[in-house]
Amino acid sequence: MKIVVCVKQVPDPNSVDVDPVTGAIDEERLIYVVNPPDRCAVEEAVRIKEWLGEGEVTAITLGPPRAEEALRQCLAIGADRALRLWDKDMESLDALSIALVLAEAIKGMGYDLILCGAESADWGSGQVGAAIAELLGLPQVSVITELKMGPDGRNATVQRKLERGEREVVECPLPAVFTIDASLNEPRYPSLPCYVEALMREIPSIGLQDLGVRRGSLRIETAPKILGISLPRPRPKKVFTPDSKLSAFQRIDAILSGGVVGRKRILIEGSPEKLAERIVRFLAERGIIGY
């Protein structure tokens, strides 16, 4: 079984120091690590390989030369191969263009399963995994907290993390893209021989041309730009006052609950097209989008 894991090198959140006035990040102090859920994805891929008794795990990243270090961490955990994609045109790509480049590289190497971290610790858009699935025409299950391979490796049963502590169990045919939640597993502390071998490996790096991706197909100029970074300011807190029209009992009840009202939920099911239509209608009815 060929498993491809997409990883990203991110600054360790503990090393990020934002100037409270200017919002500038002190780049000199940044320490780079493998995005934590991506590490779990590599660990899971290696566990699947070990469980099946066969397979090949490839860790792939899009990033500058320093990102090689992240790939070495993946090799140390047990990935068989590592590949870095880099080009000066890849410096400021948005999530969709990153997915396009990754998908192109993955297409070239063959796959039975693709794992990604659910979202990165730095930008956290959570889009890359979904976009890769779309580009490769694969089913996608997002934010998974449990993964059980079917005995023949042709399908998998996974548990998804939903809002408010709920979980959903989904069975999915392979090949597919799963995006991994960091609670899925605890990545191993690599043994010395694995670690040393990983440190000594040559890691290949390829660019757009090697992938056959045209620069024009990437959204380089239209990618979202960062205008500024600032620390969040606390929002003014609303003082809760119970509605005077309510009965005394209801008012006491409202005060005790602090004005918190249970959220309303609607669960809809159906084909992707139907679901998308329902979501758009839902938003349009509330005037959130024009339709």
Partner 1 sequence: MIGKFDAIVVGAGPAGSTAALILARAGLKVILLERGEYPGSKNVSGAALYGTRILHELIPNFWEEAPVERYLTRRVLTFISPQSSFSLDFRTTNFDQPPYNGFTVLRPKFDRWFASKAQEAGALLVPATVADDLIWDGDMVVGVRTRREDGEIYGDVVIAADGVNSLLAKKAGLRRDLDARQVSIGVKEVIALDRKTIEERFNLQGDAGVTYEFAGSVTGQVYGGGFLYTNSDSLSIGIVAKLASLVEKQVKIYELLEEFKSHPSIEPLVRDGVVKEYSAHMVPEAGWRMIPKLYSNGLLVVGDAAAFNLHTGIFSEGMNYAIASAAAAAETVKQAKAKGDFSSRSLSRYRRLLERSFVLQDLKRFKRAPDFVNNPRLQNVYPITICRAAESLFKVEGSPRRKVAKVVLGQLREDNLSLWQVLRDAIDGGRALIW
Please state, in angstroms and as integers, the Cα–Cα distance from residue 280 to each residue in 265, 275, 277, 285, following that order: 16, 9, 5, 9
Q: Which of 18, 169, 199, 279 binds partner 1 (CB under 8 A)?
A: 199
Element (H, E) at 171: strand 167-173
Rounded to a whole number of angstroms, the minimum distance from the CB of residue 196 to partner 1 is: 5
DSSP string covering 4-28: EEEE-EEE-GGG--B-TTT--B-GG
The least CB distance from residue 147 to partner 1, in Å, is: 24
Query: Binding residue for partner 1 (CB under 8 A) from 27, 28, 54, 273?
Result: 28
Q: Which of residues 76-135 bind partner 1 (CB under 8 A)?
A: none
Q: Is 279 in the site for partner 1 (CB under 8 A)?
A: no
What are 142's two structure tokens? 């997002």
Q: Which of 13, 18, 29, 229 binds partner 1 (CB under 8 A)?
A: 29
Parallel, antiparallel, or unpaired for β 9-11 and 32-34?
antiparallel
What minimum distance in Å lies between the beta carbon of 190 and partner 1?
Answer: 7
Which range in 2-10, 100-108, 150-158, 184-192 contacts partner 1 by CB under 8 A?
184-192
Q: Does 196 bind partner 1 (CB under 8 A)?
A: yes
Pairwise CA distance, residues 124 & 115, whole Å: 16
Give the shortest CB-49-to-partner 1 separation in angstroms.
Answer: 18
Q: Which of 125, 195, 223, 242 binds partner 1 (CB under 8 A)?
A: 195
Nearest-approach distance from CB 77 to partner 1, in angstroms? 12
**Nearest to partner 1 of 199, 275 (CB atom):** 199
What span, in angstroms and rounded, lies between the C-alpha atoms of 208 and 125? 23
212 binds partner 1 (CB under 8 A): no
11 forms part of the interface with partner 1 (CB under 8 A): no
Q: Interface with partner 1 includes 252 (CB under 8 A)? A: no
- Interface with partner 1 (CB under 8 A), residue from 66, 137, 192, 247: 192
Cβ atoms of 95 and 131 within 8 Å: the answer is yes
Q: Which of 213, 194, 175 shows the shortest CA–CA distance to 85?
A: 213
30 belongs to the binding site for partner 1 (CB under 8 A): no
Q: Count Cβ atoms below 10 Å from residue 81 Cβ, excluding itself.
A: 17
Q: What are phi and psi of 52, to 5 degrees?
A: -75, -20
3-state class (DSSP) for residue 237: coil
The residues that touch partner 1, with contacts defined as CB under 8 A, are 17, 28-29, 31, 189-193, 195-197, 199-200
